[in-house]
Structure 1
Amino acid sequence: MLNIQTIRLISFFSFFVLSYFINTANAATIPGSDISHEGSIVYDIAVNIDPSTRMLEGKSVITFNKTREHTLMLDRQFEVTQAFIDDMPYAPQTDSERLHYWQIPYTILRPHRIEIHWRGQLHPLDEAIDHEQTLGRPIAVSGEAGTFLPDAANWYPRVANGLARYTLQLSLPAGQRGLVPGKLTHEQDEDDGYSARFEFDHPAGGIDLMAGPYEIESDHYNGIQDSTIRLRTYFHPQISQLADDYLTTVKRYFELYESWIGAYPYTEFSIVSSPTPTGFGMPTLTYLGINVLRLPFIKNTSLGHEVLHNWWGNGVYPDYKSGNWSEGLTTFMADYTYKEQESTEAAREMRQSWLRDFAALEPGQDAPLTAFTSRTHGASKIVGYHKAAMFFFMLRDLIGDELFNRSIQGLWNMQRFKVTTWSNLQSVFEIISAQDLSFFFDQWLNRTGAPNLTITEVRQEPTDLGHRLHITLQQSEPAYQLRVPVAIQTETGEQTHLFDLQQTKQAFTLDLSEKTQSVILDPDTRLFRLLAPGEAPPILREVMVNPTTATVILSDDDETQQTAATLAEKLQRRTPQLLPANQSISNIPTLVIGLRHEIDGWLESRSLPAKPEEVLGKGTAQIWTLTGPDDSPMIIVSAQDTASLEALIRPLPHYGRQSYIVFDGRQAVEKGVWPMRVQRVKIK
């Protein structure tokens, strides 16, 4: 067993090995990426946008400083007016995927440049779409209230699968202001229009552009390397009064993450409002919906998450072909860390919520962490954010806080502005901790599901010195290697022991001075595992994400029926499968929607539990879960009237982690989760 002094010595020298090892792994495991050509591509872009007409005109000069074959892409909604390669005309080709493209041959054996002029009308801004729709339709949009050009919309001629540095000159009409990720090097705001120039000096995967009728406020933060970080808000006029609070709050996240990880990699950070309910993190900025920014808790939750993405995701790039680790690490070091700072109980509740969410998945909705790329629906978030965050929590438990934090710093020092795989992370943690972690990474990254743990036998016998306790643990096939926490309760208290479980069934023995009263499996929820029947309380998400969920609408009124059907569609993100109101209760997940008197009568006629005390007589609408026939989960939605039902359509889908919730109009006034029941074996 290595002592801590030996580990520190190994860790010190390992940094020299680490750089070579990781970079060799990068080159070997990321075919087709530009890792060996970082910085060899440079964009110099000038773009003019008029939101009133939605017209964009652009010019881009792309310089290739190394010999290599490349493909340039541009969406076909744009017209290419001129294109040259080293001053010679070079026309684009088109394909069936709505793209112009240029194939740049590797036979050009010298540095070369391409100049492209393009123009076109952007799609109209739709302020009615929700966040999921924004994620699912990466198109370039513009309007007086805002312009958003995501990189995935191919709104500028861009190199496929390449990292590039860039400068961008943006011109907008008077009253509009905008930005792209990067350092602001020039800005001019006059009566005839606004212009700004940005530089991004690191290899970047793409360019997102935002503009709107922004009011700009500024501040600064002094970083740990005596660097001045410019802080800005680009807020719509209706929320401009929030700027000071956001600028003040963001500083504490810089203090936290610079001390935990390392110096902030950029010269500025901006908080930008969006007319649609977005929640995006980009290098040097975050793009959040106006109504999101109004929520009082966002400064203490989502803001820090997006700041941290400047280290993980926008500072060290995930290799999407082998899995996106950055969302899980960011969730662990942001969302979960804030709960740890709040209290031990709050942190445990978040871990329990991750397990409850996972228990709500149906067969086929799960996937290995190596398959997660980005959030597309609730099931992908449960895996890519929550299971991945629990992965890092368990890894910290395994190697200890000190070595975990030093590994985080090692990852940052070695991998800044490089595409990084899960195997690169494994290399860092193994070298810094001086441990073989292959079993841990393999079982949690490459397998679907989770271990199903139970206590199958407990017995004790008296000894000359006290009592001998025999505990048998069992897990599902194939076996995981786990350190299972088991709490032993006696008359004088409780003590937790760790059992190294490596087989599907394994017996353990403890010699104790006192007689054991009961044994509890994983009482603090420190393992990612399948919750046993009855251990997990039902939550809304369990019905919302289940593809077999049926919907019962009780009302005969046409307007109420239509409102209920819209609500069901929003909750399930699909056309609901409707069942007649008079049909007997089935053994599949069921969503029941009706007005208050209809719900009360329906529950009574089927001998189901009445409205629980937690929601009884409160608000204009009550929603709760209960267990139906054959332990099937149910959601009951009871509203005062049709207007109260309509008020749920927008907010209710965001409360999937709750067991019950009360609304007064559109405002959630009470919510909660039914108590979780631990696996406890009492000894007589």
Structure 2
Amino acid sequence: MSSPGEPSVDSGAISVLRHEIQLAIDPTSHRMRGLDRVTIQVGRREVREFSVTLNKALVVAWVSSEGKLLPFYPRPLPPSAELDTRHAHQVVVRLDRPARAGETLIVDFDYAGEINDPPREPRHLRFVTPSETSGHIGPEGVYIGPETYWYPDVPNSLASYRVTATTPPGWEVIGQGGLVAHEARADATVATWDASACGFRSPEVSAEGRFDCPAEGLTLAAGKFVVVMRMSGNTEIATYFYPEDMELADEYLAAAAAYLDAYSRVLGPYPFPRFSIGENFFASGLGMPSYALLGAGSIRRHYTQPYALGHEIVHSWIGNHVFNDNGGNWAEGLTTYLANYYWHELKGDPQKAREERRMMLLSYAVYVPPDQDYPVVQFKRKSDQRDNAIGYNKAAMVFHMLRREIGDDRFFAALRTLVAEYGGRRIGWRELEALFTRVSSRDLRAFFARWIERAGAADVKAEADPDYHVFRRIPRRDLPPMLNLFVTDPRRVVVTPSLDSAAAPYRELAERVAKQEGVGLRSASEVGAAGQDLRDASVLLLGGPNAGSAYAWAKRGLPPGVDLRPDGFRVGGKDYQGSGMALLLSFRNPDDPTHVVSVFYGLSPEAVKPVARLLFFYGWNSYLVFENGAVIKRGDEPPLPAEGAPAGARSERHLRNIRQLTHGRQNAEAYFSFDGRSLIFQSTRDGRGCYQQYVMGLDGRDARMVSTGRGTTTCGYFLPGDRRVLFSSTHAKSPECPPKPSAQGRYLWSLDDYDIYTAT
């Protein structure tokens, strides 16, 4: 979690060292009341007044210091890309005397109001960010964090926190640090969380006279939870789950204990006295100092994998104990490397480790077009999948290459040094470079300049890196067909089946997808058997055989051995039947294999519904088979022949300089433009029975028909200047295809049927 950025006014005037908060929460009325005793340190110059940020909906009753009331007034926040000027403003406090540079003050704030911003519909197909709500207090649950501005603070503070929260009886609060007091009364539950003391003391922080475990902000969650707690070494671990999910507690506690034990060996002692896993009332995957907050849907899907719970636990060291500075976010990349990837090495599974490296490269290949790339150092937070591919996956691969560059011993020694020396502090890429340089005794300037400060990937052939140890760009045509190729295609069309009750889950999915920019929506009844509007796009075809003529068009591209029927389907060499079965299948567009068709088909509405909600989490395979919403089988189809690969067998070395430009239909007689950048060729690619003339670039993209689509054509050429083309056609005599004579080795078309035409 990151605190908001700093405004231009009051820059450096004060810093906040500590909050001691008394908090009362009333979920029914969406209200809270806070009494915050704030420890403030004056900056490098004398201060007569200072400002803090606070939610506009929270009304300040009084401010005092040393028993004296202080005057205060609100004012708008200055314009900022970081601060939420819609929900927050400044509260300016006038001191009763000038405060000296470096002086420490204690100021009390009493404030109350309503926090009521229910989580909204996700903007993304694949993930929900905390910005979907700025904070909410309600009967369904409580979530208040730094983006709520629910306590008086200054931007970019690193403070310690102690909060005593009072909630209705039967409610429990999840906070940061350790649970130091808890009282379940008949009229209320009172819990005190102290986030000022680490599980171990950092000599660097203590030497500076600061609190042991400062944090970038304070997030609280609350709900009607059942709490289950156990010890893991010297660390308390606990689950805060809804009653209907409490039987999952043991699974999560065991997984958390395993992660804490493993990463304590890698990174050093766990920094906090407790780790909690909370069940959130909206979809989320958030890691705060000493706890993770996961949506109820994630909890019920057994979200204990290394990329899930493991990732949030590693954040306890990286990101929530050692912090990013404002110059860039390195913590997500390192956390992704250690949790999502390195866990498989720790468990002795080289195949899964290799697959994780491959997936990191696939993410970059799919979501980062070369013209939209940017350097890792510019990544600050994830707002889309491009950011995820660069800031998480590319950065993770950079740490992998750094480890291979300096060796395991020095790499992991540097990580332990990082945690020991920088716990409770902010650090940037330059400090990381200096640390790895110092520990490894290697000059790493060229490495960091190449991989952190510049965009792009290595120019390495797959044959030279078969195990994906180098961060390189996999050409799009080398990717197997998958749903994510639909997601990232500039031309996308969603086709829905006919209007009946069984089609309802498909339509709900289609409406959600159609909200994304650049997506067209078609009913199957609008699409003919020739696939109008689908030939030059990637298509999400919902309903399989129920999509009528649209499916009849698409199934021409089905991989061999695949069959979809009203009562079942066959894929991966196996038949599947039963009302709980569903299939997500991707293959090449039959008319243009640079695009894909993804078919989502369930044998009943009940099979469709649980998968439809999460469909875009399954974007990396050519096919996935679901039973009652759970994946039971997955696999991939081969990619297109790679550019530069032989047109025939791969063993034919003499053909390795040949690149295939057209696919899937008969094509013949192609000629270059005068500038050598385009081709004119004749083809039956649009399902026509006779040849038409097409023009396309040498990359195989943007093919367009320049003839009339009637009769047959031949002998297409570019005219000088490349703006017009010349060809022969029979369309004036007859719009039908002329009969093909028996050639018997000779060219026997009737020349009397052809006339010569030009086109642009």
- TM-score in same-fold range (> 0.5): yes
**1:523 aligned onto 2:450:** no
The one of 277, 293, 299 equivalent to 1:293 is 299
The one of 524, 547, 558 equivalent to 1:609 is 558
> Relative to 1, partners in 2 of residues 1:597 and 1:218: Cα closer, same or farther, differing over 3 Å?
closer
Distance in 2 separating the partners of 1:127 and 1:136: 9
> Relative to 1, partners in 2 of residues 1:36 and 1:53: Cα closer, same or farther, differing over 3 Å?
closer
Could you give the per-residue CA deviations for residues 179-220 of structure 1, whole angstroms, max 9, x where no partner exists?
A: 321222221112121111222222211100111111222222
The equivalent of 1:555 in structure 2 is 497
> Relative to 1, partners in 2 of residues 1:405 and 1:36: Cα closer, same or farther, differing over 3 Å?
farther
**Where in structure 2 are the equivalents of 1:26-37 lying within 5 Å?**
none
The equivalent of 2:280 in structure 1 is 274
Distance in 2 separating the partners of 1:533 and 1:121: 50
> Relative to 1, partners in 2 of residues 1:41 and 1:533: Cα closer, same or farther, differing over 3 Å?
closer
The one of 38, 42, 54 equivalent to 1:74 is 54
The equivalent of 2:616 in structure 1 is 653
Could you give the per-residue CA deviations for residues 559-585 of structure 1, whole angstroms, max 9, x where no partner exists?
A: 677643532454576163225523143
The equivalent of 2:387 in structure 1 is 380
Distance in 1 separating the partners of 2:58 and 2:403: 49
- With 669-678 and 574-583 compared, the bigger mean Cα shift is at 669-678
The equivalent of 1:625 in structure 2 is 586
The equivalent of 1:304 in structure 2 is 310
The one of 227, 230, 235 equivalent to 2:236 is 230
Could you give the per-residue CA deviations for residues 109-142 of structure 1, whole angstroms, max 9, x where no partner exists?
A: 1432332211112216559869844533242212
**1:55 aligned onto 2:16:** no
The equivalent of 2:257 in structure 1 is 251
Distance in 2 separating the partners of 1:596 and 1:339: 40
**1:324 aligned onto 2:324:** no
Could you give the per-residue CA deviations for residues 575-608 of structure 1, whole angstroms, max 9, x where no partner exists?
A: 6322552314343333222342436863447742
The equivalent of 2:686 in structure 1 is none
* TM-score normalised to structure 1 length: 0.78
Instruction: Give the CA deviation at 1:395.
Output: 1.0
Distance in 2 separating the partners of 1:45 and 1:212: 19
Distance in 1 separating the partners of 2:11 and 2:427: 10
The one of 99, 111, 115 equivalent to 1:122 is 115
> Relative to 1, partners in 2 of residues 1:193 and 1:376: Cα closer, same or farther, differing over 3 Å?
same
- Matching residue's letter, 1:121: E
Asked if 2 retains the 8 angstrom alpha-carbon contact of 1:253 and 1:307, the reply is yes
Partner of 1:242, secondary structure, is helix
**1:46 aligned onto 2:22:** yes
Distance in 2 separating the partners of 1:540 and 1:397: 33
Asked if 2 retains the 8 angstrom alpha-carbon contact of 1:554 and 1:599, the reply is no
Partner of 1:203, secondary structure, is coil
- Matching residue's letter, 1:220: M
> Relative to 1, partners in 2 of residues 1:35 and 1:392: Cα closer, same or farther, differing over 3 Å?
farther
The equivalent of 1:541 in structure 2 is 484
> Relative to 1, partners in 2 of residues 1:566 and 1:443: Cα closer, same or farther, differing over 3 Å?
farther
The equivalent of 1:438 in structure 2 is 445
Instruction: Give the CA deviation at 1:312.
Output: 0.2
The one of 520, 523, 527 equivalent to 1:581 is 527
Instruction: Give the CA deviation at 1:639.
Output: 3.6
Could you give the per-residue CA deviations for residues 342-376 of structure 1, whole angstroms, max 9, x where no partner exists?
A: 52111111111122222112535533212222222
- With 573-582 and 533-542 compared, the bigger mean Cα shift is at 573-582
Distance in 2 separating the partners of 1:330 and 1:401: 17
Instruction: Give the CA deviation at 1:408.
Output: 0.9
Partner of 2:42, secondary structure, is coil
The equivalent of 1:172 in structure 2 is 167
Distance in 2 separating the partners of 1:643 and 1:627: 28
The root-mean-square deviation of aligned C-alpha atoms, in Å, is 3.3
Could you give the per-residue CA deviations for residues 208-250 of structure 1, whole angstroms, max 9, x where no partner exists?
A: 011111122222232xxxxx22222222111222223332332
Instruction: Give the CA deviation at 1:427.
Output: 0.8
The equivalent of 1:214 in structure 2 is 225
Distance in 2 separating the partners of 1:142 and 1:673: 45
> Relative to 1, partners in 2 of residues 1:434 and 1:561: Cα closer, same or farther, differing over 3 Å?
same
* TM-score normalised to structure 2 length: 0.70
Could you give the per-residue CA deviations for residues 400-443 of structure 1, whole angstroms, max 9, x where no partner exists?
A: 11111111112112211111101111111111111111121122
Partner of 2:299, secondary structure, is helix
Distance in 2 separating the partners of 1:306 and 1:37: 34
Asked if 2 retains the 8 angstrom alpha-carbon contact of 1:168 and 1:199, the reply is yes
> Relative to 1, partners in 2 of residues 1:431 and 1:529: Cα closer, same or farther, differing over 3 Å?
same
The equivalent of 2:199 in structure 1 is none
The equivalent of 2:408 in structure 1 is 401
> Relative to 1, partners in 2 of residues 1:40 and 1:117: Cα closer, same or farther, differing over 3 Å?
closer
Distance in 2 separating the partners of 1:653 and 1:633: 15
Distance in 2 separating the partners of 1:560 and 1:251: 45
> Relative to 1, partners in 2 of residues 1:58 and 1:528: Cα closer, same or farther, differing over 3 Å?
same
The equivalent of 1:158 in structure 2 is 153
Asked if 2 retains the 8 angstrom alpha-carbon contact of 1:272 and 1:285, the reply is yes
- With 380-389 and 662-671 compared, the bigger mean Cα shift is at 662-671
Distance in 1 separating the partners of 2:606 and 2:254: 39
The equivalent of 1:4 in structure 2 is none
The equivalent of 2:603 in structure 1 is 640
- Matching residue's letter, 2:193: F
- Matching residue's letter, 2:40: F
Distance in 1 separating the partners of 2:341 and 2:20: 40
Distance in 2 separating the partners of 1:605 and 1:585: 9
The equivalent of 1:100 in structure 2 is 89
Distance in 2 separating the partners of 1:38 and 1:396: 40
Distance in 2 separating the partners of 1:657 and 1:522: 21
Could you give the per-residue CA deviations for residues 531-570 of structure 1, whole angstroms, max 9, x where no partner exists?
A: 1354321222122244x24214152327677643532454
What runs of 5+ residues in structure 2 fail to find an aligned partner? 1-5, 78-84, 197-212, 564-569, 655-760
Distance in 1 separating the partners of 2:147 and 2:547: 47
Distance in 2 separating the partners of 1:559 and 1:545: 31
> Relative to 1, partners in 2 of residues 1:301 and 1:525: Cα closer, same or farther, differing over 3 Å?
closer
Distance in 2 separating the partners of 1:288 and 1:551: 33
Asked if 2 retains the 8 angstrom alpha-carbon contact of 1:49 and 1:171, the reply is yes
> Relative to 1, partners in 2 of residues 1:675 and 1:412: Cα closer, same or farther, differing over 3 Å?
farther
- Matching residue's letter, 2:479: A
- With 394-403 and 110-119 compared, the bigger mean Cα shift is at 110-119
- Matching residue's letter, 1:187: H
Asked if 1 retains the 8 angstrom alpha-carbon contact of 2:583 and 2:625, the reply is yes
**1:423 aligned onto 2:430:** yes
- With 355-364 and 392-401 compared, the bigger mean Cα shift is at 355-364
Distance in 2 separating the partners of 1:300 and 1:256: 12
Asked if 2 retains the 8 angstrom alpha-carbon contact of 1:246 and 1:299, the reply is no
Asked if 1 retains the 8 angstrom alpha-carbon contact of 2:495 and 2:539, the reply is no
- Matching residue's letter, 2:583: Q
Distance in 1 separating the partners of 2:362 and 2:178: 43
Larger Rg: 2
- With 365-374 and 228-237 compared, the bigger mean Cα shift is at 365-374
Asked if 1 retains the 8 angstrom alpha-carbon contact of 2:494 and 2:542, the reply is yes
Instruction: Give the CA deviation at 1:314.
Output: 0.4
Partner of 2:283, secondary structure, is coil
- Matching residue's letter, 1:656: G
Asked if 1 retains the 8 angstrom alpha-carbon contact of 2:120 and 2:133, the reply is no
The one of 539, 543, 560 equivalent to 1:590 is 539
Distance in 1 separating the partners of 2:387 and 2:624: 24
Asked if 2 retains the 8 angstrom alpha-carbon contact of 1:567 and 1:646, the reply is no
The number of aligned residues is 584
> Relative to 1, partners in 2 of residues 1:150 and 1:31: Cα closer, same or farther, differing over 3 Å?
closer
The one of 223, 247, 251 equivalent to 1:241 is 247
Partner of 1:148, secondary structure, is strand
- Matching residue's letter, 1:235: F
Distance in 2 separating the partners of 1:33 and 1:247: 46
The equivalent of 1:508 in structure 2 is none
Q: Which has the higher helix share?
A: 1
Distance in 1 separating the partners of 2:271 and 2:354: 32
